[in-house]
Structure 1
Amino acid sequence: MKIYPFQIRRSVRLLKRMRSNSRKMMMWKNYPLAKEVVAMLDALSERSGRHSPCDKIFLMKILLDNISKSDTPRFAISVLERQAALFKSVSEEDLKEYDDPLTVGEVEAELGKWREYIDIDGVTEEEWCRKYHRYLRFDPIERTPLWEEIYYEVEKETDEAIGRNAPRGMGFCFLYWSSKAAVLARRGIFWKSPHEMNPRVMFD
């Protein structure tokens, strides 16, 4: 049985916490954990007798599946760029350890998607939504560096404002959006929720 390096074992534990947060609709809590995982993997060589580049690529995929890429696109791009670079060192033997390995083409497609998302001057919201089959409009501020910079603190303050005992079933999205709008307003940011941006859509 392969004994993985400490950095990989620690990353796996952090990713399990991230998956748990995602199931609890607390994906925002994963942002600092994701940064810790990246730091762990950055400190590890591409290959040793106990791991291959594919192991790092796989862990980064789990990481990306458990963060809000639309809220943290620049961070997501940095992770995708790491994945793309690692593919240069992947061998046929490495791929045999995975039943359905991620491909460099899939990573490059995701890179293109999120690079266009942050290209505010070059790609309009309508163009991006049409190309990537995003059917709900969103406030343009969500594409800005500022949004990503304040994302974690805003979500944390919003969660605190809502409280632990608030029911998170039908109608929760409206409580969440109104609380988030209030948090942002205190920072001088007047954000339009998905409901305001899509008045003809029914949300529950």
Structure 2
Amino acid sequence: MENYPTEIQEAVKIMYEMRGNSEGMMTWKNFPLAKQIITLLDSIPNRSEHHTPYDKIFILNFIIDNISSSDTPRFTIEIMEKELALLKEVLPADLEEYNDPLTAEDIEEELQMWRDYIDTEHFSNEEWCRKYSHYMKFDPIERSEIWEEKYYEIESKIDAELMKEDMPRGLGFCFAYWSSKHKVLAEMGIEWQSPQEMNPGVVFD
């Protein structure tokens, strides 16, 4: 690790923090951390004596695995487009230390899904869910640009509400979360229906 550029070493430290957030069901905290990593990666060339373009791709894919892409689809699209651009510079030798490396086809398939997700003009919720075998209905507001712009602020306020109640993140947590989310969004002038409201026949715990 000490041979990698300082920027990649810093990115890895942030990745450990992101993983901890994910394991603690605090994925929303990873959004600004992910942006920090992007800034670090963008500040160095794609290849040097000590790193390759695929090293960057590996880190970018870690980010995607540790953010809520359905809440931040435009950011996810931006990351995947970076991955595709980097793949064009990858040499066979760059992949030797990686098991099951990503291919352009892997990235393009998921990228198209998120492009369709934000394309509300051509894909209704029902059409998008049918195309991508997504069985849970969700509020259309979640696909909007304003939702993504306000995502971190919304989740920060929800977390503050839940901290007041000292709510354990186990069985039944989803109901407390949705209740707090309703309250926070209403205060922000945003109408939203929870998964429970959108899927009345589904049993949640």
- Give the structure 2 partner of residue 143 of structure 1: 143
Shift of 1:32: 0.2
Shift of 1:2: 6.7
Q: Output the CA distance in 1 between the equivalents of 2:101 and 2:13.
A: 21
Q: Deviations over 1:35-77 (max 9, x none)?
A: 0001111111010000000000000011100000000000010
Q: Output the CA distance in 1 between the equivalents of 2:44 and 2:78.
A: 17
Q: What does 1:41-190 correspond to in 2, within 5 Å? A: 41-163=41-163, 165-190=166-191
Q: Deviations over 1:61-108 (max 9, x none)?
A: 111000000000000100000000001100111111212111111111
Q: Which amino acid aligns with 2:100?
A: D
8 Å Cα contact 1:2-1:50 kept in structure 2: no
Shift of 1:132: 1.3
- 118-127 vs 1-10, which deviates more? 1-10
Q: Output the CA distance in 1 between the equivalents of 2:53 and 2:2.
A: 15
Q: What does 1:20-59 correspond to in 2, within 5 Å? A: 20-59=20-59
Q: Which amino acid aligns with 1:25?
A: M
State the aligned residue count.
Answer: 204
Secondary structure, aligned partner of 1:163: helix
- Give the structure 2 partner of residue 202 of structure 1: 203
Shift of 1:22: 0.3
Q: Which amino acid aligns with 1:185?
A: A
Secondary structure, aligned partner of 1:89: coil
8 Å Cα contact 2:27-2:67 kept in structure 1: yes
TM-score of the aligned structures, taking structure 2 as reference length:
0.97
Structure 2 unaligned regions, length at least 5 = none
Structure 1 unaligned regions, length at least 5 = none
TM-score of the aligned structures, taking structure 1 as reference length:
0.98
Q: Which amino acid aligns with 1:61?
A: N
Q: Percent identity between the aligned chains?
A: 53
Secondary structure, aligned partner of 1:138: coil
Q: Output the CA distance in 2 between the equivalents of 1:125 and 1:190.
A: 17
Q: Output the CA distance in 2 between the equivalents of 1:197 and 1:56.
A: 39
- 108-117 vs 96-105, which deviates more? 96-105
8 Å Cα contact 1:162-1:175 kept in structure 2: yes
Q: Output the CA distance in 2 between the equivalents of 1:110 and 1:6.
A: 31
Shift of 1:131: 1.6
- 2-11 vs 74-83, which deviates more? 2-11
- 124-133 vs 77-86, which deviates more? 124-133
